[in-house]
Amino acid sequence: MTEQNRRLVLAQRPTGLVDESTTRLETVPVPELEEGQALVKVRYLSIDPTIRTWMDDVPSYLPPIQIDEVIRSGGVGEIVESRSAAYQPGQMVFGMTGWQDYVVIDGGDGAMQVLPDGVPPGMAIGILGVTGMTAYFGMTDVGRVADGDVVVVSGAAGATGSAAGQIAKIKGAKKVVGIAGGAEKCAHIVDELGFDEAIDYKNEDVAKRLRQACPDGIDLYFDNVGGSILNDCLANLAMRGCVVLCGAISTYNSDEPPPGPSNYLTLLVNRGRMEGFIILDYLDRFPDAQIEMAGWITEGKIKSSEHVVEGLEKAPDALNLLFSGGNTGKVIVAL
């Protein structure tokens, strides 16, 4: 092999947003394949808020990324060489690639899946991938969205939030309100994605607008952001309302533990439930959900959009987009 692998490793743990000191670009030779292995040329990286949490040295649902380790990330790539019966050169695969040009995979353990024919790579890591599955299982299995529900979704112009809101409508929600930052995103989720109403948290009083938009309270709040928006939604929770904890993007760059939701006692008075989930627990149920989701895509019932950033070296900037709100839809880095 003469190929060189460019990769971004964790140089030092960030405080706040990642910057040029967080990652280091290294170039190392691509190793010779052993029997049973295959070589993947990475084409697209899936940029997800959770990557930022893995950079902190705190216990979470996966171990922290270690210093000098390649940044952990989902992605899509192409098999360019194979000594495994499971993979043929030319096949597209998706799974955990890391922020790098090449990854050697072991054919035996199913570490990466072959992309089905006709599925665009962006969808494999977006609406049909972990992002869409997070929206699906969070809304249906954890949130148990039901006919007639009043649903609020934060981060509603983001990849997961936009899918979550559309799934709620498909599943019979009476009203779906999205919270997003800026007039453009708010228009997008209402005009393009079919949300009933949007709240612009950058320019509106969220607590007041929630009371207007949901006068009988919120039956299901799908929380991607945490912080004050979570607290405002708790204050307006309907009887037996539910908060699905999907993420807390407003807190991921903070060194301090965030202030907790002081309105949590509405859970008591209103017999509410607040529940978290991690999508990795649902891997065995992905196939059925992907079939249902693919059907909705075909029927035009659910739309997804991508925000593509070019170049491996731009991956840290792409990650920061999620926190500045610079994206609409799924952030993908094209290599």
Residues of the shown chain interacting with a second copy in the complex, contacts defined by CB under 8 A: 59-61, 226, 231, 245-248, 251, 257-278, 281
Q: Which amino acid is at 58?
A: V
Provide the 8-state DSSP code for 213.
H
> Smaller CB distance to a second copy: residue 61 or 292?
61
- Closest approach of Cβ 56 to a second copy, in Å? 12
Q: CB of 276: closest distance to a second copy in angstroms?
A: 3
Shortest distance, position 214 Cβ to a second copy, whole Å = 16
**Rounded to whole angstroms, how far apart are CA atoms 286 and 178?**
25
Q: In whole angstroms, what is the distance from residue 271 CA to residue 267 CA?
A: 5
Our CB check for a second copy shows the closer of 102 and 221 to be 221
Minimal distance, residue 271 CB to a second copy, in Å:
5
CB nearer to a second copy: give 266 or 327: 266
Q: What is the largest CA-CA distance in the chain?
A: 66
d(CA 317, CA 67): 19
* Dist. CA 121–CA 306, nearest whole Å: 11
**Residue among 59 and 287 whose Cβ is closer to a second copy:** 59
Which residues lie across from 4 on neighbouring strands? Answer: 29
Residue among 118, 174, 184 nearest 145 (CA): 174
Residue 134 vs 304, nearer CB to a second copy = 134
State the nearest-atom distance from the C-beta of 54 to a second copy, in Å. Answer: 12
Closest listed residue to residue 223, CA positions, set 203, 262, 251: 251
Q: How far is the CB of 173 from a second copy (least distance, A)?
A: 22
Report, in Å, the least distance between residue 248 CB and a second copy.
6
Residues facing 179 on adjacent strands: 154, 199
Question: 3-state secondary structure string, 68-122?
Answer: CCECCCEEEEEEEEECCCCCCCCCEEEEECCCECEEEEEHHHCCEEECCCCCCHH
Rank residues 132 and 272 by Cβ distance to a second copy and give the closer one: 272
Distances (CA, A) of 255 to 19, 48, 51, 224, 284: 15, 19, 16, 19, 35
CA–CA distance, 164 with 139 (Å, rounded to integer): 6
CA 232 to chain centre: 23
Rounded to a whole number of angstroms, the minimum distance from the CB of residue 149 to a second copy is 18
Query: Based on CB atoms, which residue is closest to a second copy, 221 or 296?
Result: 221
Nearer to a second copy, 56 or 106 (CB): 56
